[in-house]
Every structure is written in structure tokens, then in C-alpha cells.
Amino acid sequence: MEPLFGVVLGLMLAVASPAHDSCTCATNKWAVCAQDGPGNCTCRLAGSDHPVDCSTLTSKCFLMKAEMIPLKEKRLWRPPQAVSDSDGIYNPDCEDSGVFKARQCNQSSTCWCVNTAGVRRTEKGGSSLSCSELVRTRWIYLELTHKRSSSAFAVPDLAKALTQLFESRYKLRPKYIAAIKYDPPLIQIRLDQNKKPRWDVDIADVAYYFEKDVNNDSVFPSNSKLTVSVNGDALAIEKLGIYYVDEKPPEFSMRQLAAGIAAVVTVVLLTAGIGIAVLLILRWLRTRTYRKFECKEMKEIKAPSLE
């Protein structure tokens, strides 16, 4: 009887294991997933109770929040090959929908206003700072370069490959890709999304996922590495810059600009003053030497002849 029970138990485990292994999130390696019923897999963002929709991208706000979880907590759930990138990362306040709150604050009661991409658009102030609205980031410019060892690509082929990449990997509909320009090795991509229906991904989330992929810190599972191919030739991305343009201009004060201009003016004036002083000193030394030589000649002329 015992051998039969062992066989039955082994078959049950064999059936259960694939189901457990399949309970993963295809779009977020930081999601914690659990089988809560036959064929039902529920995923939540580590460190919070927010459910994760693994059929689309996770919001940038939730991703940044997950990255701020202390390392000792991350080790309980993150893949061992995951790398934490804290450049430009802060612990944001998010709406339940995953959207950034218009006002963000740190632990020292310093606050600032952000756009829908979570990028600061005002000077930092105190806790009394008021942000009347969350200004939408309408345009995002991606500027990337490929390694010079890669040969130049035909513009239509490159545009087609990048459009397919953003559509298949990041769920971005092609209509939001306004332009792709290519001047080897520079590639410029403009994303335009004035109004976003609830079912469409946000271009800010797309840009963040893409940035993570390029920096080898992908949000996708480890078996989903970024590869871009143009007519069978690999596109090796080397550098990436991201620029955000909001529907309304940012509200930075002119103090920093004025301070920068004042510093430049001060340096110019100091340089000019030092240059003038050096010229005056050299002129004085030249004049002094000439006068000494002139006096010496006059003395030799006035000296009585020994004959």
C-alpha cells in the first residue's frame, strides 16, 4: 500500500509543479505571484497590496516604489540576477490606479510637483507647497546611439524594426510613435500621447521599461532580454537619453539661471581684470628697463674724456 501511495503522491506533485511554475508575471519580474485556485494566478507588487496586471506594463510609479524596498526585503523575492538602479529614483506617492500624485515629498518634508512621468517640474519647497494639478507629459523624446561597429541601416527598415519592438514588447500602439529619425549612429524617437484611454499603456511607462532594458536592468523576467534586429542585423544600443515635454511649461524660477549667469559674468570679469593687470605690469617693466638703459647712455655721454 505504501508504494502505491508514494506513486500517487509523486504524480500529484508532478502535476502541481508546472502549475506553480507557470504562476509568474510576464511583464514584471518584481511581482510576487501565488496560485489561489485551479488555473487562477494572482500577482501583487512586492512590498504593497497593489495587484499587478501582467498582460500589460506596470505603472512607473509602482515600479519606482518597488525599487525603494530595502535590499534585505528584496532578497526574499527578487531574482538573484536582478540589479538595483537608484539613479533618479525616489520613493513616490502613487494613486491607487498607479498614477503619480501631483505633489511628492521626501522624509525631510521637502516637496515638489511632478508630471505624469514622475519628473520634477517645480522648485523644491516645504510641506506647504501646493500642486493644483498633475500636468500630463505629452511628448517624450528618446535619443539613442548604436555602436559604431554596427553598419548604418536603411531608415525604413530601422523605423519598422523599432515600431514592431515598441508594439510587441511594450504594448504601445504605433499611432503614438510620431517620428523616427536616423543620422548614424544617432536615432531619435518621438512619442506623442495627448490623451490616453484607460486601456492604452502610458508613454512614460514605455520609456521607463525601455530605459531599464537598455541599462541591462530589465523589468521583464530574465529570460526576456531585449534584442533588436534590423533585417537580421543586430542593433547594439550604446547610449540613451530621455527628454520629457509637458502640456504646460515647467515652473522653475529664474534664481538658478540668474545665479549661473552671475557666476559666468564674475569669471569673465576676473579673467579680464587679471589680463589687464598682467599687461600693465609687463608695460611697466618694459618702461623701467628702457629708462635704466637711457640713463646709462646719458651718463656715458656726459662722462669727461680721459684724453
Contact status, residue 148 vs residue 185, Cβ threshold 8 Å:
yes
CA distances from residue 111 to 68, 87, 94, 216 in whole angstroms, order as listed: 18, 19, 15, 31
Largest CA distance in the chain: 147
CA distance 284 to 291: 11
CA distance 263 to 146: 37
CA distance 307 to 299: 17
Residue 210 has a pLDDT of 96
Residue 73 has a pLDDT of 43
220 closest CA partner among 48, 82, 75, 99 = 82
Residue 175 has a pLDDT of 95
**Residues 2-6: contacts with CB under 8 Å, at least 24 apart:** none
DSSP 303: S
Residue 45 has a pLDDT of 84
CA distances from residue 302 to 164, 295, 296, 297, 298 in whole angstroms, order as listed: 98, 11, 10, 9, 6
Would you give per-residue pLDDT tens digits along the chain (307 residues)? 444 444 444 444 333 333 345 788 999 988 888 888 777 888 988 766 788 999 999 999 999 888 877 644 444 343 333 222 333 678 899 998 899 999 999 877 889 999 999 999 999 999 889 999 999 999 999 999 998 766 688 999 999 999 999 999 999 999 999 999 999 999 999 999 988 888 999 999 999 999 999 998 899 987 678 889 898 888 989 889 999 999 988 887 644 444 445 555 566 667 777 878 777 887 777 776 655 555 555 555 555 554 4
| DSSP secondary structure string for all residues of 172-191 | --GGGEEEEEEETTEEEEEE
CA distance 307 to 293: 25
CATH superfamily of 137-246: Protein-tyrosine phosphatase receptor IA-2 ectodomain (3.30.70.2470)
pTM: 0.70
DSSP 13: H
Residue 37 has a pLDDT of 77
CA distances from residue 118 to 206, 236, 283 in whole angstroms, order as listed: 13, 28, 60
Q: Round to the nearest angstrom and report the end-to-end CA distance of the chain.
A: 147
Residue 293 has a pLDDT of 55
